[in-house]
Structure 1
Amino acid sequence: MSIQVSSTSLPDIKLIDIQVFNDERGFLFESFNTRDFARLVDANVVFVQDNHSHSVHGVLRGLHYQIEHVQGKLVRVIHGEVFDVAVDIRQGSSTFGQWVGVYLSAVNRRQLWVPPGFAHGFLTLSNCAEFLYKTTDYRYPNFERRILWNDPELLIKWPLQSKPIVSERDANGKRLCEAELYVWQLVNKSRPAERRS
């Protein structure tokens, strides 16, 4: 087995630990294996796009999602460290409005599976961070939405040392109570979400 999978406080969000082979030359590991992912995480997932972002210390990206062409994301860090957050925004889910946060770094080599129906974001804790993520659908800018990273309804405990660096679009995200959200049954069936505004 090349990966070990554990549940977080939100059962649908999975933390993935990778088996690493180290010797005097360095290290080697499988960053992704379709067979293992299907057997241990989700057999119905097909990834269609890989993304790579670079962020300097204090950058906070999020909380992002697409209201249609809903994306699942498998995320990891190859340089530096981030605090990674996923928020359940599926109407009708028993964990609606709850969030989970984990530390991902080039040292711990952990990955996080964020399935469709969750808003996602991260805070860069190191001098810079290289962040990779695989997605289950393509980017559609017209369907992109943002929930305010510091929404008082969510009470996310970001490990902030100072005011974060946030894009104008992220700074103008909506509060959860105002946002267009997913209907849990439709997300489950991979159909376009109904909109609640």
Structure 2
Amino acid sequence: MGAITTPRFDITPLPLSGLCLVQRKRMGDARGFLERLFCAEELTRAGWDGPIAQINHTYTAAAGTLRGMHFQRPPHAEKKLVMCLKGRVFDVAVDTRKGSPTFLKWHGEILAPEAANALLIPEGFAHGFQTLTDDVEMLYCHSAVYAPDHEGGLHPQDPAINIQWPDELVTLSDRDQGHPFLGDSFEGVAL
């Protein structure tokens, strides 16, 4: 897939197949601006092929906090459209798709409100982020409802993945710290 331009978005494919950077186009004047956060019709061209099942809003207080790396297994595998509404984050997706040529490769982008950007993350990817500022707010559109029995996670500091987080780690939840490092037995997510 090459770059896609729609009336409200510029969509750029990233090095991991199916992962896209979505640049929102702002329409504005002296009063301010309007930007579309989601449009099913336009995002279908980038791989979003169903309804939004959930929209989640997160708040993270301190810079250096790391959240992730989370994914859901079938039949609850999900696509995510992830954007930063306040502050700045280094947002990361890891390809966990079984048999993918980019299996266990990662890609990161800085997301920020002034950049008006988002990541469109396909099914079979783990996702997480590190806050680069205090007081970060994120918005997630999910294609499937959260199913705790189908959730998986990667340790965000696993040397087998070797994510290059930009800042020193300040906070990591017990849950995220508890994900074991990958061994040779991890074959990936079969979609």
- How high is the TM-score relative to the length of structure 2? 0.90
Map Cα deviations across residues 10-65 of structure 1 (whole Å, 9 max, x no partner): 13100011110122111111111111111x31252322110110012121100001
Letter in 2 for 1:175: F
Distance 1:103 1:75 in 2: 11
Q: Map of 1:83-98 to 2, 5 A cutoff?
A: 83-98=90-105
Partner in structure 1 of residue 50 of structure 2:
45
Cα pair 1:147 1:179 within 8 Å, conserved: no
Unaligned runs of 5+ in 2: 1-6
Pair 1:15-2:5 in alignment: no
Pair 1:54-2:50 in alignment: no
Letter in 1 for 2:46: V
Pair 1:172-2:178 in alignment: yes
Alpha-carbon distance, 1:155 to partner: 1.0
Unaligned runs of 5+ in 1: 188-197
- How high is the TM-score relative to the length of structure 1? 0.88
Q: Map of 1:14-163 to 2, 5 A cutoff?
A: 14-38=20-44, 40-42=45-47, 44-56=49-61, 57-68=63-74, 69-160=76-167, 162-163=168-169
RMSD: 1.4
Distance 2:181 2:51 in 1: 31
Cα pair 2:22 2:119 within 8 Å, conserved: yes
